[in-house]
């Protein structure tokens, strides 16, 4: 297709990934391309994901989404991070917050100064220097000058897809109801030329986006792209999900609580609480997982739990010929760090930036695939860290995780931090230095040495500076309303705005 302009985009599958793609393409390139989305009401979507990371706000800014309208439409709450319980040891607790830790001089990140202070007997906990962490622990939230918080959302993924659908259709996206029963390809190039529906209609296209979930109808069943399995690093392959009635205050964080064959989540929305149990079926049966999830609920369930089966890994190519795989069809890293929706957004944003207006070329496809591979592998390493860096010895699952071989890229990161206290963020790396530091320390990876910059500061000056930082954060948090109070006030400030 070199030199052939792309004018017709066909999205196979709806759900969160499909409607994210449709909304972004119609908002940015809608005047240049014709967009058709095909989905069937008879084919269910996963719709479990209810947690995001702060990059979601940049995506929403691109789409011009009004935040209050989003919160109302998806029953969303605010999220300041993730509380990890029982990971390195049973009874352990640490927080991966979205904020910046302390104030860093140009020479080194703040945690080096804190490590020096701690060695000299003062400095408190590292989390004392993160506004988002302390606000989350207190159940507080606000916006504006009184609380410059870095935040994301908890939201209902099914309602989020519907919200984006309304935006997309209003912007000219054509939705077609039906199941795809045939995929037509060019006999010489193998490029997809059209898809046919059960009712007989044929939809031609120049570029096809596969949002058909794990089955990968276009990218795998048709184009035989191939799969790289990551189950030896990330062995969980099941998730049981259920919603319960709301109970208590709306805490602005996700809970990730480890158990002897995986972990469970708790995510508060305005109208209910999302609960789930992630596990590996080699170590825990579905029936045992069901009983464990039900026993751990702190409020009545709104329906019976449902099981979602998955595999961790990636397609060997995200873009193959004239087909791109978005969402679960492109690969999956388990939901521990809430990266799935981010990866949808990243994929469609990159496509918009690299859109093949003048035709699909090998050089363009290769560059897209390399960026997608690198970013996904860095996210993979961050999630694998939570499993590898453990001292748990209470079950075969955790002993196997502790003893497993890991990607060399991750092994090098851990060694660098333990030996010298250094953490880093690569170009294209989703997680910042502060994120790596919080998880490494939370998983009991304690540096043997650190940068000497802290020893250059007078001890009393250092102590006063750290005391002042902690006190300022404590005052700021004390003045904030609870998240429950803030949401009620925030949503009452003006009438509901519907997507255009």
In terms of domains, do 304 and 160 share one? no
In terms of domains, do 162 and 224 share one? yes
pLDDT tens-digit map of 303-312: 888 899 999 9
In terms of domains, do 172 and 225 share one? yes
Q: Is 10 helix (H, G, I), strand (E, B) or coil?
A: strand
Structure tokens at 191: 């490029």
State how far the Cα of 152 lies from the Cα of 59, in Å rounded to an integer.
12
We report the CATH number of the domain holding residue 356 as 3.50.50.60
In terms of domains, do 304 and 163 share one? no
Mean pLDDT across the stretch 352-381? Answer: 95
Across 14-23, 141-150, 260-269, 297-306, least confident range:
141-150
In terms of domains, do 215 and 320 share one? yes
Identify the CA nearest to 140 among candidates 436, 472, 473, 496.
473
Give the model's confidence band at 494: pLDDT under 50 very low, under 70 low, under 90 confident, else very high. low
Identify the CA nearest to 87 among candidates 390, 401, 435, 418.
390
Residue 428 lies in a domain: no
Strands (E) across 130-197 are located at 152-154, 174-177, 180-185, 192-197
Strands (E) across 98-201 are located at 152-154, 174-177, 180-185, 192-197
Q: Would you say residue 47 has pLDDT above 80?
A: no
In terms of domains, do 208 and 301 share one? no
Burial of 150 (0-12, 13-18, 19+ CB in 10 A): middle
In terms of domains, do 216 and 328 share one? yes
In terms of domains, do 42 and 15 share one? yes
- Element of type H or E holding 481: none
Cα angle, residue 274 at apex, residues 271 and 280 outer, rounded to 5°? 175
Share of the chain above pLDDT 70, in %: 96
Residue 408 lies in a domain: no
Residue 338 lies in a domain: yes
Residue 463 lies in a domain: no
Give the model's confidence band at 147: pLDDT under 50 very low, under 70 low, under 90 confident, else very high. low
In terms of domains, do 226 and 323 share one? yes
Q: Would you say residue 272 has pLDDT above 80?
A: yes
Catalytic residue among 8, 27, 31, 79: 79
Residue 430 lies in a domain: no
State how far the Cα of 235 lies from the Cα of 215, in Å rounded to an integer.
19
Mean pLDDT across the stretch 353-365? Answer: 94
Identify the CA nearest to 355 among candidates 239, 209, 466, 241.
209
Q: Would you say residue 374 has pLDDT above 90?
A: yes
Q: Would you say residue 488 has pLDDT above 80?
A: yes
- Using alpha carbons, list the distances in angstroms from residue 437 to 83, 99, 157, 451, 469: 15, 12, 30, 14, 19
Share of the chain above pLDDT 90, in %: 85
In terms of domains, do 305 and 317 share one? no
Q: Would you say residue 40 has pLDDT above 90?
A: no
- Tokens 């590292």 identify what position? 126
**Is 8 a catalytic site residue?**
no
In terms of domains, do 333 and 222 share one? yes
- pLDDT for 427 equals 86
Radius of gyration (C-alpha) of the chain in whole angstroms? 24
Across 44-48, 70-74, 177-181, 273-277, least confident range:
44-48
- pLDDT for 48 equals 54
- pLDDT for 458 equals 86
- pLDDT for 454 equals 86
- pLDDT for 223 equals 98
Residue 485 lies in a domain: no
Q: Is 243 helix (H, G, I), strand (E, B) or coil?
A: strand
Q: What is the DSSP letter of 218?
A: I
pLDDT tens-digit map of 73-92: 999 999 999 999 999 999 99
- pLDDT for 32 equals 94
Give the model's confidence band at 41: pLDDT under 50 very low, under 70 low, under 90 confident, else very high. confident
Residue 264 has phi, psi (to 5 degrees) of: -130, 155
Cα-based torsion angle of the residue sequence 365, 369, 370, 372 in order, rounded to the nearest 10 degrees: 140
pLDDT tens-digit map of 153-202: 999 999 999 999 999 999 999 999 999 999 999 999 999 999 999 999 99
- pLDDT for 217 equals 97
Residue-range definition of the domain harbouring residue 254: 238-309
State how far the Cα of 328 lies from the Cα of 211, in Å rounded to an integer.
7
Identify the CA nearest to 102 among candidates 126, 137, 136.
126
Give the model's confidence band at 456: pLDDT under 50 very low, under 70 low, under 90 confident, else very high. confident
**How many Å separate Cα 11 from the centre of its chain?**
22
Residue 433 lies in a domain: no
Q: Would you say residue 500 has pLDDT above 50?
A: no
Structure tokens at 14: 């709806």
Mean pLDDT score of the chain = 93
Half-sphere exposure of 126 (CA within 13 A, CB side): 25
Residue 258 lies in a domain: yes
Mean pLDDT across the stretch 50-59? Answer: 92
Q: Would you say residue 18 has pLDDT above 50?
A: yes
What string of DSSP letters covers 379-419?
HHHHHHHHHHS----SSHHHHHHHHS---HHHHHHHHHHHH
- Tokens 């809608």 identify what position? 30
Give the model's confidence band at 44: pLDDT under 50 very low, under 70 low, under 90 confident, else very high. low
Q: Which of 293, 309, 325 is the last residue of a domain?
A: 309
Show the 3-state SS of 245-309.
CCCCCCCCCEEEEEECCEEEEEEECCCCEEEEEEECCCCCCHHHHHHHHHHCCCCCECCCCEEEE
Q: Would you say residue 499 has pLDDT above 80?
A: no
Estimate the crossing angle of helix 362-388 against helix 340-353, to 10 degrees. Answer: 160
Q: Would you say residue 2 has pLDDT above 80?
A: no
Q: Which of 269, 289, 309 is the last residue of a domain?
A: 309
Output 274-277 pairs: Cβ under 8 A, ≥24 positions apart.
274/48, 274/50, 274/154, 274/241, 274/243, 275/241, 275/242, 275/243, 275/244, 276/48, 276/239, 276/240, 276/241, 276/242, 276/335, 277/239, 277/240, 277/305
pLDDT tens-digit map of 98-136: 999 999 988 999 999 999 999 999 999 999 999 999 999
Across 30-39, 219-228, 243-252, 263-272, least confident range:
243-252
Query: Considering its fold, how many domains does the chain have in total?
Result: 2
In terms of domains, do 259 and 161 share one? no
Residue 351 has phi, psi (to 5 degrees) of: -60, -45
């Amino acid at each position: 297709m070199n030199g052939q302009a792309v004018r017709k985009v066909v999205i196979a599958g709806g759900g969160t990934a499909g409607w994210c793609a449709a909304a972004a393409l119609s908002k940015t390139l809608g005047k240049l391309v014709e967009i058709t989305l095909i989905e069937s009401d008879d084919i269910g979507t996963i719709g479990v994901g209810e947690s995001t990371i702060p990059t979601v706000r940049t995506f929403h800014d691109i789409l011009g989404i009004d935040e209050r309208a989003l919160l109302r439409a998806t029953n969303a709450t605010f999220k300041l991070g993730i509380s990890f319980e029982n990971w390195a040891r049973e009874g352990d607790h640490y927080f991966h917050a979205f904020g910046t830790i302390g104030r860093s001089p140009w020479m080194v990140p703040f945690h080096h100064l804190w490590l020096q202070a701690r060695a000299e007997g003062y400095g408190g906990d590292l989390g004392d220097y993160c506004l988002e962490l302390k606000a989350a622990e207190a159940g507080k939230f606000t916006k504006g000058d009184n609380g410059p918080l870095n935040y994301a959302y908890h939201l209902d993924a099914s309602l989020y897809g519907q919200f984006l659908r309304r935006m997309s259709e209003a912007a000219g996206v054509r939705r077609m109801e039906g199941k795809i029963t045939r995929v037509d390809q060019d006999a010489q190039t193998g490029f997809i030329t059209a898809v046919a529906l059960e009712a007989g209609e044929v939809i031609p296209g120049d570029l096809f986006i596969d949002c058909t979930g794990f089955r990968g109808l276009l990218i795998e069943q048709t184009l035989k792209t191939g799969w790289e399995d990551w189950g030896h690093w990330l062995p969980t392959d099941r998730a049981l999900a259920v919603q319960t009635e709301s109970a208590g205050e709306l805490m602005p964080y996700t809970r990730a609580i480890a158990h002897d064959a995986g972990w469970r989540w708790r995510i508060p929305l305005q109208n209910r609480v999302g609960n789930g149990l992630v596990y590996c079926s080699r170590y825990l049966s579905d029936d045992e997982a069901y009983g464990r999830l039900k026993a751990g609920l702190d409020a009545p369930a709104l329906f019976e739990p449902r099981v979602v089966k998955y595999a961790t890994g990636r397609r060997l190519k995200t873009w193959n010929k004239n087909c791109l795989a978005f969402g679960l069809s492109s690969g999956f890293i388990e939901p521990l760090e809430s990266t799935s929706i981010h990866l949808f957004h990243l994929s469609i944003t990159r496509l918009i930036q690299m859109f093949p207006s003048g035709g699909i070329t090998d050089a363009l496809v290769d560059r897209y695939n390399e960026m997608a591979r690198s970013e996904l592998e860095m996210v993979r390493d961050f999630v694998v860290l939570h499993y590898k860096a453990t001292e748990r010895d209470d079950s075969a699952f955790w002993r196997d995780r502790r003893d497993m071989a890991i990607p060399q890229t991750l092994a090098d990161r851990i060694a660098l931090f333990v030996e010298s206290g250094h953490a880093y963020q690569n170009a294209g790396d989703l997680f910042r230095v502060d994120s790596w530091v919080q998880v490494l320390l939370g998983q009991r990876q304690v540096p043997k040495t650190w940068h000497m910059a802290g020893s250059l500061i007078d001890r009393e000056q250092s102590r006063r500076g750290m005391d002042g930082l902690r006190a300022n954060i404590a005052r700021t948090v004390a003045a904030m309303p609870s998240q429950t109070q803030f949401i009620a006030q925030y949503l009452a400030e003006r009438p509901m705005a519907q997507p255009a």
